[in-house]
Structure 1
Amino acid sequence: MKTALLTAIACLFSIVIYSQTYITNVTITDVENQKMIPNQTVVISKDIISDIQSSKKIKIPENATIIDGTGKYLAPGLTDAHIHFSQNGGLYTRPDAIDLRKFRPYEDEIKISKINMEGKLRRYLKNGITTVFDVGSTLYFLEKSKDFEDKDFAPTIYMTGPLSTTYKPEIYKNFADDAPFSLTQTIEDGIKSVQDQLPYQPDFIKIWYIVGADGLSIEESARKNLPIVKAIIDEAHKNNLKVAVHATQRITAQLALENGADFLVHSVDDEILKPDFVQLMKKNKVVICPTLIVHGGYVNTFGQNLDFSSYELKTTEPHQLGTLLDLKHLSDTLTVNRYRAMGNSKKMLAGLKVADSISRANLKLLSDAGVTIATGTDAGNIGTLHVSSYLAELKAMQASGLSNWQILVASTINGAKVLNKEKEFGSVAVGKKANLILLDASPIDDLENLTKIDKVINKGRVFNPEDLLKDTPEDLAQRQLNGYNFRNIDAFLEPYAEDVEVYNFPDELQYKGKDAMRNSYAQMFANTPNLHCELVNRIVQGKMVIDQELVQAGNRVIEAIAMYHIENEKIQKVYFIK
């Protein structure tokens, strides 16, 4: 028996040795002490950081996997502390905000969100986000998320189920396990909304503290509904679950804090916070996720004033981004014109400006006071797209006055603090999860360097980012269409091969190469008013994508068919039939 035990120990020891990965000569981004530590070797055993030493001192065994980190920076994997898997970020994802169900039934949008969950997860990880918090989902996704717990390609998911709320939009009634809201009109309803989630093992509970819909003033409504809010918080705490609260008014946020809320998932945007509020947050160790850009996503979509960078056009799921421009051609012109007028109204724009300025001032105030800030986007809402909105959120935090170190701390270890898991992940330290990103340049020098990812390490496994999610032919065709409609010449050309060939069907070569293509389209983008291409129909056959289009150019509308032939994950040939 003693011999068997010794044999088992020896086998275990050999497994540890053989599964080790060494990242050598790397500069560690130490978010806990806010400093860079050069010339380090980090050892990963299975999914844990098992050792960190000076590269001069450490001895590497012959059978180890070695990653040369010379000239590179090792940072903790990023956390998006506020997303929604049940929402896709496109125009049709929130029918309570704009009802376009006659163009796309909400049931279809639900199907898309379910089908694309793995794609979202792969896209997040590809871009260095190794942890996500879904702060308002459905019972379906709460159950489905368990399927990805042991998948190396999936970020770690923390999730709540339907939002407990005293206000539920009519549109979301009768959706059973696909309902994102649980209506709580009594204390008993509130308690039941928590108990209904327990069999699904949520990581926390979320309250949608919406006030004023009952016709009362903001404060009257908040105080009227407070007993229900308190009952939800108490029931969640009784079951050892923290509580996140959507509270954008100072009074709702303060009442939530006074009654035990653990996590505020938005900024207060109606008034500058006073010292007693700040001290209450510090005393209760409450984390706040500012979500600075989500409001603007709605306003800019409705007003048709969206503008995405080349990075965003390349990084996001292209089909949902494409829907955001559908307001330019939908046949319901009364609805379209009404929303466009609203999005461009002086009242709406002035309100957005005031709310943004207050939110950013409050973020700086809270950060300076030592309140824990966690980065989150509210991705999934209209105009706030999954993954690509993360960098925009970081830049908004930067514009609020936070330093790059403060933002990186908020985006890593502070996300772990939401659920008191900072001893498990969130920094490059011995004993923590090996959820890391290897960067080509320092994120402290420039936040955009967070997009320059050489390797992603998730649950101990090392990935080349491009291997996590491959472009389909349809993705490439849609990306170039998005670049076209945003008149972004670099984004438009990105999906094309360097030696692309452009033909008039069937075989008349117009030109060859990206340079010629750039000359042709850059001039058109600059000189053509009202340029917009509506996709009427699309056929995908193997590596060929055939698009039927209506192209508006000035006062003309042209019918066209474009055929895209894909080779080696780039558009190699294009044939136009006019």
Structure 2
Amino acid sequence: MKKKLNLVLLISSQLLIAQTYITNVTIADVERQKLIPNQTVVITKDLISNIQPSKKIKIPANANIIDAKGKYLFPGLVDAHIHFFQNGGLYTRPDAIDFRNEKPYNKEVDLAHQTMEDKLRRYLQNGITTVIDVGASYSFLKQRKDFSEKDFAPTIYMTGPLATTFEPTVYNDLKDEEPFNLVKSIEDGIKMVQNQLPLQPDFIKIWYITDRDKVEASARKNLPIIKAIIDEAHKHKLKVAVHATERITAQLSVESGCDFLVHSVDDELLKDDFVQLLKKKKTILCPTLIVHNGYINTFGQKLQFTNHDLLKSNPFQLGSLLDLRHLPDTLMINNYKRSINNAEYMAIVDKENAICRQNLKLLSDAGVLIATGTDAGNIGTLHASSYLSELKAMSASGLTNWQIIQASTINGAKVLNKENEFGTIAIGKKANLILLEGNPIENLEYLTKINQVVNRGIFFSPTEVIPDTPEALAQRQLNAYNLKNIEAFLEPYADDVEIYNYPNTLQSKGKENMRKEYSEMFDKVPNLHCQLVERIVQGNIVIDKERVQFGKQFIEAVAIYHIENGKIKRVYFIQ
């Protein structure tokens, strides 16, 4: 009896130690679209174990307490459409723009694997505790297991390669790294599903591509294959996502039983019969409004990033998007720029974007489930940081902030029938949460004002998820320099930064002097661009060899950055 009592006391003690109390917080009830003030949420290990009004709950003396007065607690966000095999930079889709002579594609794939942890940490830093990879490869299906128990990693759901009746030749013969499986027959489609089963994908993805000149004819020609893949996946209790951007391919997919449409219809305004079809079939739509413009703005060399993008994205991938200013294949680059910026082409793009926005508003108002997804990894759509831009595009389409929050939480969970596990703040659900400094129902920007991210019951400060490296600081200021963004440019520098002409001639001191000097240069100098020729990183020192364009003039220079306490403290220029 005594041994049993001791065991009970031991378990009780461990339970108390594992508990955290978030007190005096305003909770978001995303299903009822309601804010509930003055609540205490109890987290035991990785689950929400209790929710009560703060005045009614008794907190044990040895409990971990977080006083969240004035703060808001929301479910962790879900990005329902990403791709780990793509990095978001210029070299990640050689079928869209081919720079394999500059960077072999196998090195880009290697980089995607090497930076998977960085991507996951950035998602967590941005409050995204669940990601759904809608099209990976066998190698990434294997690699995701490395992060299944990592506290810093959002929960990952993933497909294998995309089944498609059209495969870009650049992806041929990549074996386990191939992101596409070419299927030419019903038998191929069934075999594709069966081949993925041993790696336990969470669902199956189809890339439903048509002949541009014969959209409906080619869609119906391939329909038996599409139907066979969906049926085989359902036979094995796997849901199916379909890339379908035309109304006819989307309609045929839904009629054939697909569960998840991962893009908007952009070729026509939807009619009521299509809306009712989606409702009847309970198909979820992920609109991915910003991804196309990522390509257009990159190729057209009209990229504009917010301070949020410059601070929270992978700085090296963002920086690569600006390489079109100095890569040697100027003929190809200028052809892309000219074609993209052509008035007739831009009119088509504007029309498609308007159709997507109107269709999203129509479907949302009709009660079709919408799940937020970015298609991150594509050129110009950077992992994690692009999420806010997608939310703003949804807002510009006419969705309310509550509708957007629902799409970003509980609806994302519903994609794979996980709404009983996460997506709302409720007893028994996973403790995947974000504690915010302000109310995103009033302003979506507050989703970036994160006090703490709770992932698997573990609390993270956003600043601690990804520590700034000296190289990242140097790259961030270089990106902002090339975009002429003075605030983002100054962010990595210490307030009392010193600028020297090598070896020891002091030219400027203090961030405010830098602001004055560089603001004037950004305003007055045309064609300002700094090309990084070579970089050496040694401890807290970064040495950049640069080729800088000022109008028509080019200057070769070396910049030596000394980093102290997470900021650039001194810079030495050699010209």
- TMscore range, shorter length: over 0.9
- Per the alignment, residue 173 of structure 1 pairs with 172
The alpha carbon displacement at 1:350 in A equals 1.2
Equivalent in 414, 418, 429 of residue 415 of structure 2? 418
Stretch deviating more after TM superposition (144-153 or 513-522): 144-153
In 2, Cα distance between the equivalents of 1:57 and 1:149? 37
- Per the alignment, residue 29 of structure 2 pairs with 30
Identity, in percent, stands at: 66
Equivalent in 231, 236, 243 of residue 228 of structure 2? 231
In 2, Cα distance between the equivalents of 1:365 and 1:513? 53
- Check whether the contact 1:549–1:560 (CA below 8 A) recurs between aligned residues: yes
- SS of 1:515's equivalent? helix
- Per the alignment, residue 338 of structure 1 pairs with 335
In 2, Cα distance between the equivalents of 1:269 and 1:15? 55
- SS of 2:55's equivalent? coil
The within-5 A match list for 1:547-562 is 547-562=544-559
Deviations 1:423-468 (A, max 9, x none): 1100111111000000000011100000000001000011111111
- Per the alignment, residue 251 of structure 1 pairs with 248
Structure 1 residue 515 and structure 2 residue 482: aligned? no
Paired AA for residue 184 in structure 2:
Q
The alpha carbon displacement at 1:293 in A equals 0.4
- Per the alignment, residue 70 of structure 2 pairs with 71
Change (3 A) 1:347 1:5: farther
The within-5 A match list for 1:257-272 is 257-272=254-269
The alpha carbon displacement at 1:7 in A equals 4.7
The alpha carbon displacement at 1:4 in A equals 5.4
Deviations 1:345-369 (A, max 9, x none): 1232112101100000000000000
- SS of 1:122's equivalent? helix
- SS of 2:240's equivalent? strand
In 1, Cα distance between the equivalents of 2:354 and 2:475? 35
The alpha carbon displacement at 1:471 in A equals 1.2
The alpha carbon displacement at 1:6 in A equals 5.4
Equivalent in 560, 565, 571 of residue 563 of structure 1? 560
- Per the alignment, residue 282 of structure 1 pairs with 279
**Structure 1 gap segments, 5+ residues each:** none
In 2, Cα distance between the equivalents of 1:206 and 1:553? 48
Equivalent in 214, 217, 227 of residue 214 of structure 2? 217
Structure 1 residue 113 and structure 2 residue 94: aligned? no
Deviations 1:13-36 (A, max 9, x none): 332222100000000011011011
The alpha carbon displacement at 1:3 in A equals 6.1
- Per the alignment, residue 443 of structure 1 pairs with 440
TM-score after normalising by structure 2: 0.99
- Check whether the contact 1:302–1:342 (CA below 8 A) recurs between aligned residues: no
The alpha carbon displacement at 1:203 in A equals 0.4
Paired AA for residue 389 in structure 1:
S
Equivalent in 482, 485, 488 of residue 485 of structure 1? 482
The within-5 A match list for 1:114-513 is 114-212=113-211, 217-513=214-510
- Per the alignment, residue 537 of structure 2 pairs with 540
The alpha carbon displacement at 1:310 in A equals 1.0
The alpha carbon displacement at 1:328 in A equals 0.8
In 2, Cα distance between the equivalents of 1:187 and 1:347? 40
- SS of 1:70's equivalent? coil
- Per the alignment, residue 531 of structure 1 pairs with 528
- Per the alignment, residue 45 of structure 1 pairs with 44
- Per the alignment, residue 14 of structure 1 pairs with 13
Deviations 1:375-407 (A, max 9, x none): 000000000011111000000000000011110
In 1, Cα distance between the equivalents of 2:345 and 2:392? 23
The alpha carbon displacement at 1:147 in A equals 1.3
In 1, Cα distance between the equivalents of 2:64 and 2:345? 56
In 1, Cα distance between the equivalents of 2:61 and 2:501? 58
In 2, Cα distance between the equivalents of 1:116 and 1:41? 37
- SS of 2:56's equivalent? coil
Change (3 A) 1:546 1:39: same
The alpha carbon displacement at 1:5 in A equals 5.3
- SS of 2:431's equivalent? coil
- Check whether the contact 1:165–1:183 (CA below 8 A) recurs between aligned residues: yes
In 2, Cα distance between the equivalents of 1:463 and 1:538? 32
In 2, Cα distance between the equivalents of 1:565 and 1:88? 29
The alpha carbon displacement at 1:124 in A equals 0.6
- SS of 2:468's equivalent? coil
The alpha carbon displacement at 1:44 in A equals 0.3
In 1, Cα distance between the equivalents of 2:88 and 2:98? 15
In 1, Cα distance between the equivalents of 2:135 and 2:358? 26
